[in-house]
Amino acid sequence: MTIDPQRTPQEYEILSGGGAESAEMSRRGLSRRQVLRRAVTITLGLVGAEATFGALTMLYPNLAGKFGAPIQLKSKDSYPAAVQNEFLLDQRGMFYESAAKTYLMRLKDPDFQQSGQNLQNLLDAENWVKDDDGTYWAALYQVCVHLGCKVPFRDDCHSFKCPCHGSHYNVDGEYLDGPAPRSLDRFAMSFSNGNVVVDTGQLNNHVAHPVDATRILPNPTVVCAA
């Protein structure tokens, strides 16, 4: 096409078949067919993403009140406190809640091995909760951190002893002996309208083996046989 000096640039755009849009596509090396294909691909991608989201919503429903989310347990009065060497499972001091897969500890008159800010830092790091009456709580996950067996609380030795490979933990979940790589994992917990709430979606699995400067409670005074 020869350039007619009598035609405006806009007329030449129309006669050349696309104006500024065609010029831009030409500059980018894109044909109309390529642009159309890309538009179709993006549309199909959006439709697929929406379908995937809908399927996941059906497969994984709201976990409210179920394991993996905050679970409201019984009132605080349902869990009588006890001193460390007088715990009896589901009677005083230590309580098992199957819905939360949790051992709930409520300790009174603790014989803390640390003091001051060091103690407070340890309590915070290990998810201890102090109640208004001076008792202390912790929500311990039921799973032994060695190989995943359910670890029972033993009334006879006031501690947890795994029947699988012998890992041994204090009433607050602190490591005592055995092959476990760390102390028991624990959940965040709180109180709501006088009830205990365990957040099974917040797992603390970073409590290391205690040493003299980090041990919170004294070791049990009785031997825990296999």
Tell me the DSSP string of 3-69.
--TTS-HHHHHHHTTSHHHHHHHHHHT--HHHHHHHHHHHHHHHHHHHHHHHHHHHHS---TTSTTS
Domain contains 1: no
pTM reported for the whole predicted model:
0.72
Same domain for 47 and 76?
no
| Rounded-to-integer distance, Cα 176 and Cα 159, Å | 9
Q: In terms of residue numbers, what domain contains 74?
A: 70-204
At 33-90, the pLDDT tens digits run 665 676 556 666 555 555 555 554 444 445 666 888 999 999 999 999 999 999 999 9
| Rounded-to-integer distance, Cα 30 and Cα 113, Å | 74
Same domain for 161 and 53?
no
Domain contains 212: no
At 92-147, the pLDDT tens digits run 999 999 999 999 999 999 999 999 999 999 999 999 999 999 999 999 999 999 99
Q: Find the length of the chain.
A: 226
Same domain for 80 and 191?
yes
Q: Structurally, how many domains does the chain consist of?
A: 2
Domain contains 86: yes
Domain contains 226: no
Domain contains 17: yes
